[in-house]
Amino acid sequence: MAHRVRNVCYADSDIGQKSDNVNMKPETVLALFTAFEDDLLQQVVQMTEEFPAPPTILNRILELTNNPTTQVEQVAEVLATEPAVAAKVLKQSNSAFYGRSRKISSIHDAVIMLGFYTIRSLVVATAAHSLYFRGQESQQLRHSMWEHSLATAIAARMVARALRNVNPEVAYIAGLLHDVGKLVLLDRWPQRFAQVVEQPNDASVASLEIELEQFGFTHPLVGAVLIDRWLFPQPLVAAVALHHEVDSLNEIPGIVHYANIFVSHLGYNLYTVSQDALTAISEEPLIDRGDFESAFSEQKALFDAA
């Protein structure tokens, strides 16, 4: 078995600097992978290798925005190499969603006004959106999956802002990517995956059991292998791998877990939510529904018009 997820070490990355109370151990993520047979893991690795790679700009922006010595000009220059991405970043940066009172007319100004974290979120969101809609088949299903991911991202950002223990933009990216493994399964087995999501089931438990029966593995495993191969920071790999396993709001996977349940209850998911899960998040309300719906509608419109 050549591939293993890199050890999770929050302290080594700027993505974890605002999460001093995160205590997830490296072997937690590794255990999720080693629980599967090597031949199945190899199949997962092969699947992710066959899945389209993200735009080159994405890895470069991740690298630059994670380096404290990076200059604004460097980020602006990289964005300028991809006019389509730059145009979407400008369009989104001028929206009321990001609360700007004056028009941003250049990529350089966008980087200064929004900051590295938000620019990174915009680039990841643009790349994720293109992945969900790159094919012509299963368009309705892809649309529903994209809406769920975007909704989870927005809700996760709101939870992080309320708790102030994780960078909100990191939580947003984790929400965007948490179900990317489902997209790989849909691309590989469109008919089988469609049958899985058509079965009535609970979002947090039964759907994983059905995936395990149908494919031999689950979407968190597939998604974690994929974004690990894409060289995303380790805390994001953990968030994708463990968003159904961790419910502690002191950790990024737990914030995504909460956001996932919240938006699923509102109907932004292919699955329903168990009463136990709903009760658990109701005991600690962290998101105003009106604020969420407003933010979701505005950002969804930005991507729909892109």
Could you please report the per-residue DSSP string of 181-229? HHHHHHHH-HHHHHHHHHS--BTTTHHHHHHHHHHSS-HHHHHHHHHHH
Residuewise pLDDT in 10s, the chain (306 residues): 333 333 333 323 344 333 333 334 444 444 556 555 566 767 788 888 888 888 888 889 989 998 989 999 999 999 999 888 888 888 878 877 666 667 888 999 989 888 999 899 989 998 899 888 876 678 889 999 999 999 999 999 999 999 999 999 999 999 999 999 999 999 888 888 888 887 765 555 577 888 888 888 889 989 998 998 888 888 899 999 999 888 899 999 999 999 999 999 999 988 777 788 888 788 888 999 999 999 999 888 878 766
pLDDT value, residue 205? 59
Domains recognised in the chain with CATH numbers? 44-304 (1.10.3210.10)
| Rounded-to-integer distance, Cα 28 and Cα 23, Å | 10
| Rounded-to-integer distance, Cα 191 and Cα 104, Å | 44
Give, rounded to a whole angstrom, the gap between the first and last alpha carbons of the chain: 41
- Residue type, position 94, single letter: N
pLDDT value, residue 42? 75
| Rounded-to-integer distance, Cα 69 and Cα 165, Å | 24
Could you please report the per-residue DSSP string of 5-21? PPPP-GGGSGGGTT-TT
CA 101 to chain centre: 28
Cα 244 to Cα 9, 25, 233, 258, distances in angstroms: 20, 17, 19, 10
pTM greater than 0.75 (yes/no): yes
153-201: per-residue pLDDT in tens? 999 999 999 999 999 999 999 999 999 999 999 988 888 888 888 776 5
Longest dimension (CA), the chain: 55
Under 8 Å CB-to-CB from 132, ≥6 apart: which residues?
142, 143, 145, 146, 149, 183
pLDDT value, residue 155? 97
